[in-house]
Amino acid sequence: MRKAKTLLAVYLAYMLEYRAELFLWALAGLLPLILLGVWTEAARGGGFPLSSGEFARYFLMVFLVRQATVVWVVWEFERDVVEGRLSFRLLRPLDPFLDHLAAHVAERLARLPFVVLLTLLFFYLFPEARFTPEPGPFLLGLLLTLLAFLLRYTMQYTTAMLTFWTERATSVEEVFFLLYLFLSGTIAPLEVFPEPLRELALLTPFPYLVYLPAALLAGQRVDLFPGLWIMLLWGVAFLLLARLLFWLGLKRYSGQGA
Amino acid sequence: MAGASPIVLAEDLTRHYRVARKEETLLGTLRHFFRRQYHTIRAVEGVSFRIHPGEVVGFLGPNGAGKTTTLKMLTGLVHPTRGRALVAGHVPQRREKAFLKKITLVMGNKQQLIWDLPAMDSFRLNAAIYEVPEGEFRKRVLELSEMLGILDKLHQPVRKLSLGERMKAELLAALLHRPEVLFLDEPTLGLDVNAQVAVREFIREYNRRYGATVLLTSHYMADIAALCPRVLVIHQGRLLYDGALEGLLDRFAPYREVGLTLKRPLPREAFLPFGEVRELEGRELRLLVPRERLTERVAEILKRLPVEDLEVRDPPLEEVIARVFKSPMEAL
C-alpha cells in the first residue's frame, strides 16, 4: 500500500512538472467534440438511430472516456529499450508493468482539472448535451471506463513487448490505432454502423475501449452482455500474451545502450 | 577467506550476440533489406572467477572487452549463452525479488534519478519499491548524504546538480536498500579529480562500514590502484588475469622504470644502450629497463652518464595495461 501511495505521489509530482504539456494533450483529445458538431448537425435532418441531443451526449462521453483511458506505454517502453533505461527498471524489485501503470494513473489525476474545465466549456457551447444521468448505468459506465483503461493499457503493453524484437513497436501501435479509431466508436457510435460490420466490430476488443463505456455513461440503451465477457476475455488474453512476450524478450535482451 | 563460499561465482560464463551485418553501399543496403546476414559476436567467452564476501575487485579491460556484458549477466539483465552465475546465492537471470534487493548496479554513463524532480523524490520512490521502512529510510539518507557530502543538495531538481553531485546522488539512490553486492560500472566517468577522489573514498568507506562486496570497472587506474587489492583483466571476452594488482605488473611488465636527472642534456642516441627511452625533456628522462638486467644497467648508467639523480620505480599502471591490451591474445 505504501509502495502504491509513494509511486503515485512521486509520479504525480513528476507529471505536474509538465502541466503545460498536459493541457495541450488534453486539448489534442478534442476530436470527439469536433465530430460532435458534425453528427449533431447531420442528425437534425433525421434518419439516424440517435437524436441530435443523444449524439451530443455520446460524443461528450467519448471525450471523457478517451481522456480517462489515454495510454502511451509503448512510446515509453521503446525509449527505455533504445536508450538502455530498461536496465534500471529491471534491476528494481517492481515489475515494469506496474511501474508504468502507476505513472499512467498519476497522470490521470494531474489531467483531471483540465478535463473538468474543458467539459464545462463544452456544456456552455452545447446546451443540448446537458443531462442528469441515472445513477445505476452511470456508475456501471464508470466501472467500465476503468476496465477500458486497463484493457487499453494491457493491449498497448503487449505491443510494447515487441520492442525486444523490432525496436520500432510504435509503428505496430500506429496500425492498431487506425483500427481503434474506426472500430472503437470514436468517429461514430456503433448504432450507425451497418449491421454485419457492427457485429464483427463487437467481437474485437476495440468497441469496449470507447463505445460501451461512453454509451452507458450517456444513458443509451446498450446490452451489457455478452460484451463484458468479450472484453474480459480479450483482457486476459492480452495479459497472458504480454507476460509470455516479456519472458521471451528478456532472454533476447542485450541491455544495449547501457 | 579461500574456504568461505563465494558471494559472486562465474563459471564458464559466455555470451554471444547475433548482429546483422550491412555493407555501406546502396547495393549493400538493398541486400540488407531483403536478406539479412548475421554474424556472431563473442562478447564474453568462458569467463570463470569467484569473489568472496567483502572483497573489492577491479575489473579491467579496454572498451568492448566484455566487462559490461559480464556485469549485466551477474545482475541478471542479460542471460548467458552458456555457463552459469551465482550471486548472493541466486541465479541472476531469474530476477527474484530477494536477489534484486541484495544487489545494485551503478552505471556512470546512465542515470536512474528522475531528471526534473529533486533527488529526494527518487530516493523516496526507491525506498518504497525496496520496502525500506520510513524511519530506516530517513536514517540511511542522512548517513549516506553525510558520507557523500551532498546533504544540502537533496531538495534541488536533479537537472540543477553538477555532474559530480549527480553521481553522488546516483550512488545514494543505488545504495538505499543497503545491497550486499555492488556492481559499479565506471562510477567516476567524466568527473573532475576532486569528485573522483570523493567517490573513491566513499566506496572505500562503504565497503569498510558495511562489509559490502564490490566489483568495479574504471578507466581511471587511480580508482583501481586505490581501491582494489585484486583485479580481473578481461580482453576480447576472455579472462586474462585474476590476482593481486602487483602481480599484474610482474606478469605484464617485466620492466622497471629508471628516472634520471643529468648534469647536462644529451642526445637521445646516448641512452639507447641502456634501455627504451620513454620520455626525454632537457636533462630529465625516463628509461624502461628489463627487470633481470636492472642492476647491471644501473651500474653502467652511473659509470658512463653524468647523473645528478637516479630513481628506480614501477612503470605507470596505465602503460602496463595499454601494453597488455595492444598485444594480440596469443602473445599473452
* Other CB atoms within 10 A of residue B23 CB: 12
pLDDT the model gives residue B3: 55
| pLDDT single digits (tens) B263-292 | 999 999 899 899 989 889 989 999 989 888
Nearest CB neighbour to A88, from listed B68, B93, B112:
B112
The rounded distance, in Å, linking the Cα atoms of B184 and B223 is 12
Contacting residues for B29 by C-beta, under 8 A, at least 6 apart? B22, B23
CA distances from residue A18 to A12, A189, B194, B278 in whole angstroms, order as listed? 10, 33, 35, 57
Contacts of A2 in chain B (CB under 8 A): 128
Reading the block at residue B43, the C-alpha cell is 562478447
Distance from CA of B100 to the nearest CA of A (A): 6
- Per-residue HEC secondary structure of chain A comes to CHHHHHHHHHHHHHHHCCHHHHHHHHHHCCHHHHHHHHHHHHHHCCCCCCCHHHHHHHHHHHHHHHHHCCCCHHHHHHHHHHHCCHHHHHHCCCCHHHHHHHHHHHHHHHHHHHHHHHHHHHHHHCHHHCCCCCHHHHHHHHHHHHHHHHHHHHHHHHHHHCHHHHCCHHHHHHHHHHHHHHHCCCCCCHHHCCHHHHHHHCCCCHHHCCHHHHHHHCCCCCCCCCHHHHHHHHHHHHHHHHHHHHHHHHHHCCCCCC
Contacts of A7 in chain B (CB under 8 A): 125, 128-129
B253: confidence class by pLDDT, cuts 50, 70, 90:
confident
Q: Which of B44, B78, B107, B160 to mutate to test the interface with A (most CBs of A within 10 A)?
A: B78
Query: Which of A82-86, A226-230, B190-194, B319-323 is predicted with the least confidence, judged by mean pLDDT?
Result: B319-323
What's the mean pLDDT when you consider all of chain B? 89
Nearest CB neighbour to B114, from listed A2, A14, A84:
A14
Contacts of B112 in chain A (CB under 8 A): 85, 88
A44: confidence class by pLDDT, cuts 50, 70, 90:
confident
The DSSP code for B90 is: B
Look up the ipTM and state it. 0.86
Q: What percentage of chain B has pLDDT greater than the value 70? A: 97
Contact B103 A85 (CB under 8 A): no
| pLDDT single digits (tens) B12-40 | 999 998 887 777 777 777 777 777 778 88
Nearest CB neighbour to B77, from listed A3, A90, A93:
A90
Reading the block at residue A169, the C-alpha cell is 513497436
pLDDT the model gives residue B14: 96
With 70 as the cut, is the pLDDT of residue B312 above it?
yes
Q: Which residue has the cell 562465474?
A: B10
Count of alpha carbons within 13 angstroms of residue A110, beta-carbon side: 25
Distance from CA of A19 to the nearest CA of B (A): 13
Distance from CA of A125 to the nearest CA of B (A): 38
Is residue B68 helix, strand or coil?
Answer: helix
B159: confidence class by pLDDT, cuts 50, 70, 90:
very high
Is residue B186 helix, strand or coil?
Answer: coil
* Other CB atoms within 10 A of residue A54 CB: 23
Chain B's closest residue to A18, CA to CA, is B116
The rounded distance, in Å, linking the Cα atoms of B79 and A230 is 37
The rounded distance, in Å, linking the Cα atoms of A219 and B27 is 61
| pLDDT single digits (tens) B64-101 | 889 999 999 999 999 999 999 999 999 999 999 999 99
Reading the block at residue A59, the C-alpha cell is 460524443
Whole-number CA gyration radius for chain A: 19
Single-letter amino acid, residue A105: V
Q: Within an 8 Å CB–CB cutoff, is residue A16 touching chain B?
A: no
With 80 as the cut, is the pLDDT of residue B329 above it?
no
The rounded distance, in Å, linking the Cα atoms of B256 and A76 is 55
Is residue B30 helix, strand or coil?
Answer: helix
Distance from CA of B312 to the nearest CA of A (A): 42
The rounded distance, in Å, linking the Cα atoms of A134 and A142 is 12
Contact A253 B103 (CB under 8 A): no
pLDDT the model gives residue B1: 46
Contacts of B79 in chain A (CB under 8 A): 250-251, 253
Over range B211-225, report the average pLDDT. Answer: 89
Contact B76 A90 (CB under 8 A): yes
Contact B126 A92 (CB under 8 A): yes
Query: Which residues is B17 bridged to in the sheet?
Result: B41
pLDDT the model gives residue A162: 94
A22: confidence class by pLDDT, cuts 50, 70, 90:
confident
The predicted model scores a pTM of 0.86
Contacts of B72 in chain A (CB under 8 A): 87, 255, 258
Nearest CB neighbour to A2, from listed B78, B101, B128:
B128
Over range B141-158, report the average pLDDT. Answer: 93
Contacts of A3 in chain B (CB under 8 A): 128-129, 131
Given a contact cutoff of 8 angstroms between Cβ atoms, the answer to whether A87 and B110 are in contact is: yes
Distance from CA of A173 to the nearest CA of B (A): 22
The rounded distance, in Å, linking the Cα atoms of A157 and A152 is 8
| pLDDT single digits (tens) B52-63 | 999 999 998 888
pLDDT the model gives residue A256: 62
With 50 as the cut, is the pLDDT of residue A258 above it?
no
Contacting residues for B106 by C-beta, under 8 A, at least 6 apart? B170, B171, B174, B182, B183, B184, B185, B187
The rounded distance, in Å, linking the Cα atoms of B15 and B208 is 33
